[in-house]
């Protein structure tokens, strides 16, 4: 006979916190070799940045310390991806040059979601030119996980406290996330 005073344990088969932003990694194209990932977002999110004080930082506009120090501005894009090796969701940093391959793919297919993006640095240098290709995959889009909130994750990585400062984070590449 069951004792009703015994505490009940509520077991689940999934975490309540599956899409926790704090566990999503920001990745770049490696200097040696290549990376290949499945795109989860339908579009890219763009922002002007500076490489300043040893790291990439967002340009904050009129009150930007990096701008006052004459640090060059570089536009970077960010897309949500899934690594086929470990099935983890990540954010991939892309350059405006890499975006041209994405735009061509969107014109043909309507969205980036479900495509495979491959990046490599032909010269093997850490900050060398990035060669990007994007192709269709056999993965069913409806079987992919929902993309994380890229803007929110980047704001966490950049430790944004005032969302209005970064209101110009632009979106490119179609509708949806």
Q: What is the pLDDT of residues 34-78, one digit of tens each?
A: 889 999 999 888 989 999 888 888 888 888 889 999 999 999 999
Residue 41's CB is within 10 A of a number of other CB atoms, namely 24
Pick the residue with more confidence: 78 or 18?
78
**pTM of the predicted model as reported, rounded to 2 decimal places:** 0.77
Lowest-confidence region among 55-69, 81-95, 158-172: 158-172
pLDDT at 112: 93
Write 137-141 long-range contacts (CB < 8 A, 24+): 137/38, 139/38, 139/114, 140/114, 141/113, 141/114
Mean pLDDT for all residues in the chain: 81
Pick the residue with more confidence: 101 or 168?
101
- Domain spans in the chain, listed from the N-terminal domain onward: 25-172
């Amino acid at each position: 006979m069951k004792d009703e005073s015994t505490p009940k344990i509520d077991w689940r088969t999934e975490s309540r916190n599956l899409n926790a932003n704090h566990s999503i990694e920001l990745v770049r194209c490696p200097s040696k070799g290549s990376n290949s990932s499945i795109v989860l977002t339908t579009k890219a999110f763009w922002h002007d940045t500076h490489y300043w004080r040893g790291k990439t930082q967002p340009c904050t506009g009129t009150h930007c310390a990096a701008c006052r120090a004459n640090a060059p501005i570089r536009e970077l894009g960010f897309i949500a991806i899934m690594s086929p090796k470990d099935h983890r969701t990540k954010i991939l940093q892309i350059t405006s040059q890499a975006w041209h391959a994405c735009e061509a793919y969107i014109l043909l297919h309507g969205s980036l979601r479900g495509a495979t993006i491959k990046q490599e640095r032909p010269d093997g240098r850490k900050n060398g030119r990035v060669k990007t290709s994007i192709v269709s995959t056999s993965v069913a889009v409806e079987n992919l996980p929902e993309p994380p909130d890229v803007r929110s994750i980047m704001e966490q990585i950049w430790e944004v406290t005032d969302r209005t400062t970064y209101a110009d984070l632009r979106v490119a590449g179609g509708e949806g996330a």
